[in-house]
Structure 1
Amino acid sequence: MRNFPFRRARLGTVAVFALAGLLFWISFTVSRGNNIRTDDSLLQMSDLIRERERQNDALESSAARLRSEVAALTERDSGTDPEQALRLDLAETAAGLSELTGPGLTVTLTDAPRDAEPLLPGVPEPTPNDLVIHQQDLQAVVNALWSGGAEGVRIMDQRLISTSAVRCVGNTLILQGQLYSPPYTITAVGPTDRLRAALDDSPALRNYQSYVAAYGLGWDVEEHDSVTLPGYEGSVALHHARPVEPGN
């Protein structure tokens, strides 16, 4: 009877190896020979966004080089026709493709501190969404500036054009393939008195101001006697959906 513990231990060892083999087979079956630790389905959205940003940076560098070549050829071919050159300059200015200088202002929006507490009596405790800048806040500023007579608008370091889209994932801004974190700066060239009045008259921004007072969201407006906006340097190609042909 002394050898019973030994047999029990030996049987236990066999059972452990059998179980390990079963788990290995299940893992192989699930992964189908792939590395399940690096499967694309396990990547977080932020990782995908950063990877796309790296791709966009490479494409943008190539596009900038090609635009420089096109600009040089355009200048060479239109140099003998002053009227044509003037029309081209006016078109580029209207489209936001050329540098713009003039009086203007800059609006800065900032998240509130994460541990912010109500600053006014009777205000409820904030939720996380109450303390961060949202897509609609940025859009409200841009819309107000355009309505106030802005000749050009820049968010962070990028000039806006007619096809620019302001999108946010969480509190991260995605603009024309680039990622930005707060504080966000929006600069406009135009009549400063009208721009300020448009900001004050915006219902969406009046709502934002209530959160500034209640929880400490950041809001600052700085006027400039002269400010320069760079021309837009991204692609101006338009992309659109096409209907599926019957039978496809």
Structure 2
Amino acid sequence: MRAPKRSTPGSAPRSTPHGETPYSPASLLRALTANPYDVDELRIHGGTHTEDAPPDNRATRTITLLLALLLGFAVAVAVTDLRRDAAADDSPRTLLEAEVRETRTEADELEARQETLESDVAAAQGEVLDSADSGASQRLASYEIASAGVAMAGPGVTLSLEDSAPLPASPGVESGTVNRVTDGDLQIAVNGLWAAGAEAVAINGHRLSTTSAIRTAGSAVLVDFRPLSPPYVITALGDPEALRSGVEDGETGEYLTEVSTRFGVRYSWESSDELTVPARSVGSLREADVIESERDGPDGGAASDSADSSADTAPDPADDSGSRKDSE
């Protein structure tokens, strides 16, 4: 096979096919596929194509400085205009804040009207019941207190449970784990307060009754299917000294001390002479039947059918195996 003839440096440069310039990538690719020995020659004759830098003199530096000042002034003017528009009375933020304030005011007015109407309904209901039976309204009031249907106030204690502080981080980890307060912790604390003689209990403003459920869903604690966020403040009405000593001297106190020592869960007590727990929301009455006379009790009132109520079973403090759900 005969090797292609190489051109000498003194010979005339070859023309690239298709009218391409010698230094274009396409011409180099074509020359490489057609005759590899002509590539160096194309690069030599193509020369270097570098752009000339602008002259560095006093006039150029002056123009650059003036352009920089002009650009900075334009940016400052734009920022000032944006801030002025944001602080204007008709800005979107101001209008949204005004709408939120109006909505809150309207909600407060509706809540006040609801309380007034509930008081009127209760008064009218008492008159109707007293007209039929002299002791009906009193029995109804006792039933509402037992079922957490009315708000209560009086002396008591507040037991606050809070997640642990971040634990020391492992090497290569930015933040340590945090031991969360679980639904089991709240169940044990609430059951301990009930056992100590609490007359009414609420967690973060949610009233508890015999059918209340304290559960967990993911990392959230639910009380009657309503999510709560820490710290969890348990309000209990009753004798403050009796409630606190009854909890601390029993198994609940031992459990709280253990979770505080082992997992860093924080808890604190506070006594007060005037605490308030709200009423539990009562479901709407959908159906009702007239009670027959033979089912009436000996005191003239209707005999209530017994119903099994499911209560939350708190875990045994002695069975704590040391496992606790940690989250980053």
- Cα distance in 2 for residues equivalent to 1:179 and 1:116: 25
> Which of 79, 91, 100 pairs up with 2:143?
91
Q: Secondary structure at the match of 1:163?
A: coil
Contact in 1 for aligned 2:180/2:265 (Cα 8 Å): yes
- Cα distance in 1 for residues equivalent to 2:185 and 2:284: 26
- Cα distance in 1 for residues equivalent to 2:191 and 2:152: 19
Q: CA deviation at 1:111?
A: 0.4
For 2:217, the aligned partner's letter is V
- Cα distance in 1 for residues equivalent to 2:190 and 2:204: 12
Question: Which moves more between the two structures, 72-81 or 104-113?
Answer: 72-81
Q: CA deviation at 1:206?
A: 1.6
2:164 equivalent in structure 1: 112
- Structure 2 unaligned spans of 5+: 1-113, 170-175, 286-306, 310-328
Bigger relative CO (Cα 8 Å, ≥ 6 apart) = 1
2:233 equivalent in structure 1: 185
Q: Secondary structure at the match of 1:206?
A: helix
Give a deviation string over 1:31-82, Cα, whole Å, max 9, x none: xxxxxxxxxxxxxxxxxxxxxxxxxxxxxxxxx99x9597576335225354
Contact in 1 for aligned 2:149/2:282 (Cα 8 Å): no
Question: Which moves more between the two structures, 216-225 or 206-215?
Answer: 206-215
Q: CA deviation at 1:204?
A: 4.3
The change in CA–CA distance for 1:204 and 1:86 in structure 2 (over 3 A counts) is closer
> Which of 155, 161, 166 pairs up with 1:103?
155
Matches within 5 A, 1:7-156: 68=118, 71=122, 74-80=125-131, 81-113=133-165, 115-117=166-168, 131-156=179-204
Contact in 1 for aligned 2:190/2:201 (Cα 8 Å): yes
2:217 equivalent in structure 1: 169
TM-score, normalised by the number of residues in structure 2? 0.45
Question: Which moves more between the two structures, 94-103 or 195-204?
Answer: 195-204
Greater Rg by CA: 2
TM-score, normalised by the number of residues in structure 1? 0.58
Paired positions, count: 167
Verify: 1:226 aligned to 2:278, yes or no: no
- Cα distance in 1 for residues equivalent to 2:127 and 2:202: 30
- Structure 1 unaligned spans of 5+: 1-63, 119-126, 241-248
Moved over 6 A (4+): 236-240
Q: CA deviation at 1:203?
A: 2.3
For 1:98, the aligned partner's letter is V
RMSD: 3.2
Q: CA deviation at 1:90?
A: 1.3
Q: CA deviation at 1:207?
A: 2.9
- Cα distance in 2 for residues equivalent to 1:184 and 1:97: 22
1:202 equivalent in structure 2: 250
More helix by share: 1
1:57 equivalent in structure 2: none
For 1:148, the aligned partner's letter is A
Give a deviation string over 1:186-219, Cα, whole Å, max 9, x none: 1000111221122213324423323323443220
The change in CA–CA distance for 1:232 and 1:71 in structure 2 (over 3 A counts) is same
Q: Secondary structure at the match of 1:195?
A: helix
Q: CA deviation at 1:117?
A: 4.1
